[in-house]
Structure 1
Amino acid sequence: MPKPEHIILIRFSAMGDVAMTVPVLRALTEKYPQLKVTVLTRGFFKPLFEGLNNVEVFSADLKVRHKGLLGLYKLSKELKLLGFDAVADLHNVLRSKILKFFFAGKKVEQIDKGRAEKKALIAGKIFKQIKTTHQRYADVFEKLGYPIDLAKPKFPSKRIIPKEISEQVRQDYSMVGIAPFAAHKGKMYPLDKMEKVIEQLSKQNQVFLFGGGKNEIQILNEISAKYENVVSVAGKLSFMEELNLISNLDVMLSMDSGNAHLAAMFGIKVITIWGVTHPFAGFASFNQSESNMLLADREQYSLIPTSIYGNKYPKEYEDCSGSVSVKKVVEKVMSTISNT
């Protein structure tokens, strides 16, 4: 059977997981420039794929037009008009399974999420690095006839900084991005400690704060107002503009969350602080040194990782990432800047 020439890639959410497809797609399209890929995802994520050769985005409207079984049937008919040869299901959820049913006759491969290994990791039966999500994505393309090597990645050039922010950028300072929030509190560094990190880093660097949602915007605005060289961009930029700014950072400090993956896809050095989750589960940001992953004290919090996504943990583990000292975080950021 000839190799497919046009592949539909399915990955609807979440932002971090979608962002993790980008370095894999870059490696794929660099090695196989004749291959066409259509990414089926939420329209909001379209800016992630800007600049990738031979990659287009098909926006799924899962809340209205493509909602429910009938909506997915409509979506399958619209996709069939594109004349694709194969499907790479990087999500492997009920929606994508229904779509694959409608694609009967097409070559289909889906991600192996490694559920048994992850379950064993959470249960404490194993404590070792399991296959990364990036490699699991790459495995799907290998099954379709397109093996790729993620070991020597290429990254895009810096994008143009949005005008609203470029006027505030200090050319004599390094640019440090900080994204202090995560979907679950057990994944977050305590905000009082993070503010101390911000205060210390702002003395020698320009700090840009990232977040979203009314509460986060308010908190970040209050912090930025206290210190010189601190700019909150939360709620002030479009998603595309945020990405453009991130591509110019010298370093990103993030939780185990989406912003770490956004920075990593540009080849930015990323320092991550981990709470109740752990890099061993395979969700570390792309191409980053293990030394840049600051982990909660596992002697004190022996059940880590308590869950894969950080949504389940004992109450006393809520602030476990606070076992990483402010001094250690600041020193890691500064040393990373020095080596950039």
Structure 2
Amino acid sequence: MPRPEHILVIRLSALGDVAMTVPVLSVLTQTYPNLKITVVSRKFFKPLFQELSNVAFLEADVYKKHKGFKLLKLADEAQTLRVDAVADLHNVIRSKILSGYLKLKGLKVATIDKGRKEKKALIGGSKKNFKQLKSTHQRYADVFARLGYPVDLKKFQKPGRKQLTTRLVTLIGKHTKKAIGIAPFAAFPSKMYPMEHMQKVIASLDSSGEYRIFLFGGGKREIDQLNELEKQFESVTNIAGQLNFEDELALISNLDLMISMDSGNGHLAAMLGIPVLTLWGVTHPYAGFTPFGQSKENQLLSDRSQYPRIPTSVYGNTFPEGYENAMKSISVEKVLQKIAAIL
């Protein structure tokens, strides 16, 4: 059976998971330059794919236009693009409806194996199977291999820095210092480095006079917190709420380092080839969500001798009493030493 020529790639959310598809698609399209890809995802994520060759974008409006079984309209739209295979990188109800419908229409479908059984064993109690699981990036790559397109993720080519817009130049000014991004928030408090610790990290970086620091976040509460943080330090600029997504990506591509929790901003920086220092709370790199291409040394972990049940969950949403403080076991000094080593 001939290999497909045009693959519909489904990954509807969330930011970090969608960003993790980008380096995989980059290697895929570089390895197979005649292969066409159409990504179906939320409109907000479109800028992630704009610089990938042979990659088009199809907007999924799952809350209005394509809500419920109106998803079939989205499948029909995909068919008009003459896709001949489906790579379901999400494996949830919505993506199953899309891929199942297109399979009935005769398209070949390959679906991600999320390793749910392995992950359940990883976070288990006394029977925890504590070992490194396959990365999400490799799980994505395996889907394309089943469609006849194996890829070697080690062949990823770091993209060049994006040109700064006039808006960005005005906002951040000209400087020759090392540029550090800090994204201190996460979906759950159990994955957030204590703000009082982060303030000490920033204070030390600021006092050295060697760095420009850019704060990332979203939502009114986070923006308010970051604005207060910005006021305390001369070298700090809060860009949360000030940039559109494309400009934010351009700025990230010009950083020398991103400091992130186990959250989306780390994956955005990694897909752009920027070093990422990740701070881990009740989650753990073994679950397979380490930002792309980042070494083990770039992962700072909470102390498992104090908190032996880590990882307590895959996403950080559940943890035993007292584990919400696990990240306090990562010292400010250790963070600063690691920043110096990376830079």
Tell me the CA shift for residue 161 of structure 1: 2.0
Moved over 4 A (4+): none
Q: Among 324, 333, 340, which residue is 1:334 paired with? A: 340
Tell me the CA shift for residue 160 of structure 1: 1.5
The letter of the residue matching 1:291 is E
The letter of the residue matching 1:318 is E
Partner of 1:164: 167
Q: Is 2:310 aligned against 1:311?
A: no
Listed one character per residue, the Cα deviations across residues 51-79 of structure 1 (whole Å, up to 9, x for unaligned) are: 1000011010011000011x111111111
Q: Is 2:295 aligned against 1:295?
A: no
Instruction: Give the alignment of 1:92-241 within 5 angstroms.
Output: 92-103=91-102, 104=104, 105-123=106-124, 124-167=127-170, 168-203=172-207, 204-241=210-247
The letter of the residue matching 2:215 is L
TM-score scaled by length of structure 2: 0.96
The letter of the residue matching 2:275 is K
Listed one character per residue, the Cα deviations across residues 204-233 of structure 1 (whole Å, up to 9, x for unaligned) are: 210000000000000001001110110000
The letter of the residue matching 1:59 is E
Take 2:29 and 2:155, find their aligned partners in 1: how far apart are those partners? 14
Partner of 2:79: 80
Listed one character per residue, the Cα deviations across residues 86-138 of structure 1 (whole Å, up to 9, x for unaligned) are: 00000000111111221111100000000110000000421110100000000
The letter of the residue matching 1:270 is V
Partner of 1:273: 279
Partner of 1:8: 8
The letter of the residue matching 2:20 is M
Tell me the CA shift for residue 307 of structure 1: 0.2
Are the equivalent residues in 2 in contact too, given 1:162–1:245 (CA < 8 A)? no
Tell me the CA shift for residue 169 of structure 1: 3.6
How many percent identity over aligned positions? 57
Take 1:300 and 1:322, find their aligned partners in 2: how far apart are those partners? 11
The letter of the residue matching 2:149 is Y
Partner of 1:242: 248
TM-score scaled by length of structure 1: 0.97
Tell me the CA shift for residue 253 of structure 1: 0.2
Partner of 2:288: 282
User: Alignment partner of 1:227: what SS?
Assistant: coil
The letter of the residue matching 1:231 is T
Are the equivalent residues in 1 in contact too, given 2:168–2:247 (CA < 8 A)? no
Take 2:206 and 2:267, find their aligned partners in 1: how far apart are those partners? 23
Take 1:265 and 1:202, find their aligned partners in 2: how far apart are those partners? 27
The letter of the residue matching 1:84 is V
Are the equivalent residues in 2 in contact too, given 1:185–1:319 (CA < 8 A)? no
Instruction: Give the alignment of 1:253-268 within 5 angstroms.
Output: 253-268=259-274
Take 1:328 and 1:165, find their aligned partners in 2: how far apart are those partners? 32
Are the equivalent residues in 2 in contact too, given 1:8–1:84 (CA < 8 A)? yes
Tell me the CA shift for residue 151 of structure 1: 1.5
User: Alignment partner of 2:153: what SS?
Assistant: coil
The letter of the residue matching 2:316 is G
Partner of 1:64: 64
Tell me the CA shift for residue 170 of structure 1: 4.3
User: Alignment partner of 1:207: what SS?
Assistant: strand
Structure 2: 5+ residue runs without aligned partners? none
The letter of the residue matching 1:333 is I
User: Alignment partner of 1:315: what SS?
Assistant: coil
Q: Is 2:38 aligned against 1:38?
A: yes
Take 1:170 and 1:273, find their aligned partners in 2: how far apart are those partners? 29
Are the equivalent residues in 2 in contact too, given 1:179–1:255 (CA < 8 A)? yes
Tell me the CA shift for residue 164 of structure 1: 2.9
Which stretch of structure 1 is more off in the superposition, 93-102 or 106-115? 93-102
The letter of the residue matching 1:261 is H
Are the equivalent residues in 1 in contact too, given 2:190–2:317 (CA < 8 A)? yes
Structure 1: 5+ residue runs without aligned partners? none
Instruction: Give the alignment of 1:42-57 within 5 angstroms.
Output: 42-57=42-57
User: Alignment partner of 2:306: what SS?
Assistant: coil
